[in-house]
Amino acid sequence: MLTCYLDSQDYSVLTDPHKSNHGLDQIRGKLLEFASNGEVQFVFSTVSVSETVATSAEASKLAQGKAELLSSLCGSNALISPDRLLDMELHALQNRALVPKHVIDPDGNWFPDIPDIPEMIGEKNSLDPIHEVIHGELNQAGLSRKERRAKARILLKNGKPRKELIQQISKADPQVSAKAMIELLPMKLEFAEVISRHCLGLATEQEFRDALLSSLRDPKFMMQWFTTNFALSSPISEIVRSPGRELGEQLRQIVEVSVGRTELLLKAGGDVNPTSQRGIIFDDWSKMVDSKLVGIFNRAAKERSIELGDIDARLVEKYCPGITTTIKSLLSSVWENIGGGRKKLLEDSQPVDALHAMYAPYVKVFRGDRFMSPLIQAQVKHRGTIVVPKLESLIGVLEQEIRSRV
């Protein structure tokens, strides 16, 4: 199957009514045609969803449009989350065995593993509607203290609602806590009812888990949910934006130090071209890239109690193509500001673009940012991935790949 990963910006450009034109309409229509007739399998990731989420209330409608296009193109073809990809590649490195080529989760699980879903809600939140009923019963006008105590004994046992009360409330109104659940977590009403019944002890743990995950798998629904619960969208939107800001600041400092050191070497006359392939700065940078690559995997393995043995950059690149592509593409983009002659200040978007790149080795056609595309292509060319720097070129690339497979 011909697999294609779109850049997050593609979903924006193809759905923003202010940018609409005949050319973009044709591209969108052709992509939807490829998807519907099964010629191309479009895939999305955690990073795609995170960048789709609106960053302001005004952008909520645009976010819905992006999510609708993502769902129409990709369906449930989600690439596994970055943490799961890292685990997979770490085990490949540990066993010196090539990582499985297919990293698509056909069930749409774009998010990290959630082992303890009940803890996300907590007993207090799940029982709030019941406590409201009890409070109302015990504070009826005209009841004496003795009568309130007698009623409390009927409703409560050891300070908790009696099973009979919980069952009575749930029978009277099957949606008793569904609305409260919807306000707390993104879920469809029918699934919220299942979770509410679980909180009342009337649904199993597996039913509870399936109910929440079924809603999370649908990006289109989630964007609709965020329009009425906008404040709760931040944790998802910040999955990549926060690291982007933090890394961006750190990388700009690295650029400043490296450029300063280059200028000192030039003034001292010790190296006439310190950033050339034979220069001191270039040599030190190359060693640093390899050291960072090995160090990141050693730390990740230690956190997971995985024994890697002696590893070097060559082994990491062979068995861990996704994370390697992210790290080396990002550091290559930083080098452009040091030895590549790029004057434009390093942007916070570069770490985010590099995060998308972890999936490039696992698809045939990868749409990248115009600046980052050649840097990503250099990392994945030997794996057969085609990185497309311009949206306008995508249809031609896909059509050529389709013809070659006939």
pLDDT tens readout for residues 326-363: 999 999 999 998 988 888 888 888 888 889 999 999 99
Residues 276 and 307 in one domain: yes
Does residue 67 lie in a domain region? no
Does some domain include residue 260? yes
Sign, Cα dihedral of 190, 193, 198, 204: negative
pLDDT (0 to 100) of residue 151: 52
Last residue of a domain, one of 151, 183, 216: 216
- Residue 399 domain-assigned? no
Do both 129 and 245 map to the same domain? no
Between 214 and 29, the higher pLDDT residue: 29
Q: Record the pTM.
A: 0.79
Confidence at residue 125, expressed as pLDDT on a 0 to 100 scale: 43
Task: Provide the CA 246 distance to its chain's centre, in angstroms.
Answer: 17
pLDDT in tens, 236-283: 666 666 766 777 788 888 888 888 888 888 888 767 788 888 889 999
- Is 350 a member of any domain? yes
For residue 298, what pLDDT band results from cuts at 50, 70 and 90? very high
Residue 320: φ, ψ to 5° = -130, 65
3 state SS for the chain: CEEEECCHHHHHHCCCCCCCCHHHHHHHHHHHHHHHCCCEEEEECHHHHHHHCCCCHHHHHHHHHHHHHHHHHHCCCEECCHHHHHHHHHHHHHHCCCCCCCCEECCCCCCCCCCCHHHHHHHHHHHHHHHHHHHHHHCCCCCCHHHHHHHHHHHEECCEECHHHHHHHHHHCCCCCHHHHHHHCCCCHHHHHHHHHHHCCCCCHHHHHHHHHHHHCCHHHHHHHHHHCHHHHHHHHHHHHHHHHHHHHHHHHHHHHHHHHHHHHHHHCCCCCCCCCCCHHHHHHHHHHHHHHHHHHHHHHHHCCCCCCCCCHHHHHHHCHHHHHHHHHHHHHHHCCCCCCCCCCCCCHHHHHHHHHHHHHHCCEEECCCCCHHHHHHHHHHHCCEEECCHHHHHHHHHHHHHHCC
Domain boundary, last residue among 216, 242, 258: 216
User: What per-residue confidence (pLDDT) applies to 128?
Assistant: 47
* Cross-strand pairs, 367: 388
Residues 211 and 251 grouped into a single domain: no
Lowest pLDDT segment from 58-67, 70-79, 145-154, 260-269: 145-154
Distance CA 246, CA 243 (A): 5
Domain-located, residue 23: no
Q: What is the maximum span of the chain, computed from C-alpha positions, in angstroms?
A: 95
Considering the chain, what percentage of its residues have pLDDT values greater than 70? 74
Residue 331 lies in a domain: yes
Same domain as 158, residue 261: no
Domain identity same for 211 and 243: no
Reference 45, options 95, 10, 79, 93; nearest CA is 79
pLDDT digits (tens, 9 = 90+) for 204-215: 778 877 877 887
49-58, 81-90, 140-149, 347-356: which is most confident: 81-90
pLDDT value at residue 77? 94
Backbone angles phi, psi at 125, to 5 degrees: -65, -40
Q: Are 363 and 384 in contact (CB under 8 A)?
A: no
Provide the number of structural domains found in the chain. Answer: 2
Cβ distance 378 to 360 under 8 Å?
Answer: no
| Residue 335 lies in domain | 234-358
Q: Residues 125, 167: one domain?
A: yes
Q: Same domain for 273 and 351?
A: yes
From residue 304, alpha-carbon distances to 160, 297, 323 in Å are 40, 11, 16
Q: Kindly state whether residues 239 and 353 are assigned to the same domain.
A: yes
Instruction: Check whether residue 190 and residue 130 sit in a common domain.
Output: yes
Inside any domain, residue 190: yes
193 is a domain residue: yes
Q: What is the pLDDT of residue 185?
A: 61
Which of 216, 245, 266 marks a domain boundary?
A: 216
Is there a single domain that holds both residue 180 and residue 294?
A: no
CB atoms within 10 A of CB 402: 13
257 & 208 share domain: no
